[in-house]
Amino acid sequence: MRRHNKFLSQRSLDENGNWRATHERLLKAQRSLSRLVKEGTLFTYLDEDLIAEIDKVPSTNNQIEGGINAML
């Protein structure tokens, strides 16, 4: 993330004359991904303990796949 700090720290004046982050949406995405990684909820399919508990990690979390909608 340090590689892009200069870009992400850019600020601009909005229509009301207030300083705001130029790339707010990117900052929100960065914070969200960082939080999910710290919580351990992102990339859980790479967790060796989880893989040891089950025989096969499903390729999808869509439980109806292969059911009545399989032909769609």
Mean pLDDT by 10 residues, the chain (72 residues): 88 95 94 90 75 70 62 61
- Please give the DSSP secondary-structure letter assigned to residue 41: -
pTM: predicted TM-score of the whole model, two decimal places: 0.56
Q: Which residues pair with 20 in a beta bridge?
A: 12
The whole-number pLDDT of residue 49 equals: 77
Helix/strand/coil percent split, the chain, to 5: 45, 10, 45
